[in-house]
Structure 1
Amino acid sequence: MTNAYNILNNPFTNKGTAFTKSERETLGLVGTLPNKVQTIEEQSQRVYEQYRLRPEGMQRRKFLMEIFNTNRTLFYYVMQQHLVELLPVVYDPVIAPAIEKYSEIFMKPQGAAFLSIDSPEDIEESLRNAAGGRKIKLIVVTDGEGILGIGDWGANGVNISVGKLMVYTAAAGIDPREVLPVSLDVGTNNQTLINDPLYLGNKHARITGDKYYAMVKQFVKIARDLFPDVYIHFEDFGRDNATKILNMYRKEIPVFNDDVQGTGIVCLSGVLGAMNISKQKFTDQIFLTFGAGTAGMGIANMLYRELLVEGMDPEEAKKHFYLVDKQGLLFNDTPGLTPEQKPFVRDRSEFENADELTNLEAVFKTVHPTVMIGTSTKPGAFTEKAIKEMASHTERPVIFPISNPTKLIEASAEDLIKWTDGRALVATGIPSDPVEYKGVTYNIGQANNALIYPGLGLGVLASQAKLVNDEMLSAAAHSLGGIVDPNEDGAAVLPPVAKLQSFTAKEAVAVAQSAIDQGLAGKDIKDAKKATEAMKWTPRY
Structure 2
Amino acid sequence: MPAKPQIIADPQTNRGTAFTVEERKRFGLMGRLPAAVETLEQQAARAYKQVCRLDDDLDKYIYLEQLHDRNETLYYKVIIDHIAELLPIIYDPTIGEAIKKWSADYRRSRAVYLSVDRVEDVRPTFEGLGLGPDDVDLLVVSDAEQILGIGDWGVNGTDISVGKLAVYTAAAGIDPSRVIAVNLDVGTDNEELLNDPDYLGNRHGRVRGERYDALVNEYLSVTSELYPRALLHFEDFGASNARRILVNNRDKYRIFNDDMQGTGAIVISAVIAGMKTNGTTFADQRLLVYGAGTAGTGMADQIHAGMVRAGLTPEQAKDRIWLIDRAGLVTDDMEGLPDYQAAYARSASEVADWERKDGAIGLLETVRRVRPTILIGTSTDHGAFTQDVIESLSEGCERPIVLPLSNPTEKIEAMPQDIIAWSKGQALVATGIPILPFDYEGTTFHIGQGNNSLLYPGLGLGTIVSGAPHVTDAMILAAAEAVASQVTSHELGASLLPPVDHLRASSATVAVAVVRQAIADGQCDMDPGDVVEAVRRAMWQPVYQDLES
Instruction: Please give the TM-score of this superposition, normalised by the length of structure 1.
Output: 0.96
Matches within 5 A, 1:89-488: 89-109=89-109, 111-129=110-128, 135-354=135-354, 356=356, 358-488=361-491
For residue 498 of structure 2, what is the amino acid of its counterpart?
P
| 2:18/2:37 contact within 8 Å kept | yes
Q: Give the length in aligned residue pairs.
A: 540
| 2:430/2:450 contact within 8 Å kept | yes
| 1:463/1:525 contact within 8 Å kept | no
CA distance in 1, matches of 2:24, 2:296: 54
Q: CA deviation at 1:306?
A: 0.7
For residue 122 of structure 2, what is the amino acid of its counterpart?
I
For residues 62-118 of structure 1, the C-alpha deviation after alignment (integer angstroms, 9 at most, x for no partner) is: 111111111111111111110100001111111111112212222122x21111111
CA distance in 1, matches of 2:129, 2:56: 32
1:10 is aligned to 2:13 = no
Look up the match of 2:85: 85
CA distance in 2, matches of 1:128, 1:33: 37
Closer, same or farther: CA 526–438 of 1 in aligned 2, 3 Å: closer
Q: CA deviation at 1:412?
A: 2.1
Q: CA deviation at 1:343?
A: 2.7
CA distance in 1, matches of 2:130, 2:238: 26
For residue 372 of structure 2, what is the amino acid of its counterpart?
P
CA distance in 2, matches of 1:332, 1:375: 21
| 1:463/1:532 contact within 8 Å kept | no
For residue 300 of structure 1, what is the amino acid of its counterpart?
A
CA distance in 2, matches of 1:415, 1:132: 53
For residues 216-258 of structure 1, the C-alpha deviation after alignment (integer angstroms, 9 at most, x for no partner) is: 1111122123322111000011111111111222112211001
Deviates more, 1:14-23 or 1:520-529: 520-529
Q: CA deviation at 1:392?
A: 2.6
Look up the match of 1:65: 65
Q: CA deviation at 1:131?
A: 6.9
For residues 8-31 of structure 1, the C-alpha deviation after alignment (integer angstroms, 9 at most, x for no partner) is: 121111111111111111111111
Q: Secondary structure at the match of 1:431?
A: coil
For residue 411 of structure 2, what is the amino acid of its counterpart?
L
Instruction: Give the unaligned 5+ runs of structure 1.
Output: none
Closer, same or farther: CA 106–381 of 1 in aligned 2, 3 Å: farther
CA distance in 2, matches of 1:71, 1:128: 26
Instruction: Please give the TM-score of this superposition, normalised by the length of structure 2.
Output: 0.94
Q: Secondary structure at the match of 1:340?
A: helix
| 1:4/1:28 contact within 8 Å kept | no
CA distance in 2, matches of 1:22, 1:410: 60
For residues 435-470 of structure 1, the C-alpha deviation after alignment (integer angstroms, 9 at most, x for no partner) is: 222222111111111111100000000111111111
Q: CA deviation at 1:324?
A: 0.5
Q: CA deviation at 1:331?
A: 0.7
Instruction: Give the unaligned 5+ runs of structure 2.
Output: 545-549
CA distance in 2, matches of 1:131, 1:47: 33
Q: Secondary structure at the match of 1:497?
A: coil
Q: Secondary structure at the match of 1:396?
A: coil
CA distance in 2, matches of 1:225, 1:4: 37
| 1:92/1:405 contact within 8 Å kept | no
| 2:354/2:365 contact within 8 Å kept | no
Closer, same or farther: CA 226–406 of 1 in aligned 2, 3 Å: farther
Q: CA deviation at 1:355?
A: 5.5
Matches within 5 A, 1:491-502: 491-502=494-505
CA distance in 1, matches of 2:274, 2:35: 56
For residue 516 of structure 2, what is the amino acid of its counterpart?
Q
For residue 118 of structure 2, what is the amino acid of its counterpart?
S
Q: Secondary structure at the match of 2:232?
A: strand
Superposed CA RMSD: 1.9
CA distance in 2, matches of 1:474, 1:142: 24
Look up the match of 1:43: 43
For residues 380-429 of structure 1, the C-alpha deviation after alignment (integer angstroms, 9 at most, x for no partner) is: 22223322222232211211111233443222222222222222211111
Q: Secondary structure at the match of 1:123?
A: helix
For residue 464 of structure 2, what is the amino acid of its counterpart?
L
Q: CA deviation at 1:500?
A: 1.8
Q: CA deviation at 1:295?
A: 1.1
For residues 454-490 of structure 1, the C-alpha deviation after alignment (integer angstroms, 9 at most, x for no partner) is: 0000000011111111111111111123322233331
Q: Secondary structure at the match of 1:344?
A: coil
For residue 392 of structure 2, what is the amino acid of its counterpart?
E
Closer, same or farther: CA 537–297 of 1 in aligned 2, 3 Å: same
Closer, same or farther: CA 352–117 of 1 in aligned 2, 3 Å: closer
For residue 184 of structure 1, what is the amino acid of its counterpart?
L
Q: Secondary structure at the match of 2:5?
A: helix
Q: Secondary structure at the match of 1:159?
A: helix
Q: Secondary structure at the match of 1:241?
A: helix
| 1:413/1:435 contact within 8 Å kept | no
Closer, same or farther: CA 256–354 of 1 in aligned 2, 3 Å: same
CA distance in 2, matches of 1:70, 1:241: 36
Q: CA deviation at 1:349?
A: 2.1
Q: CA deviation at 1:178?
A: 0.6
CA distance in 2, matches of 1:436, 1:130: 55
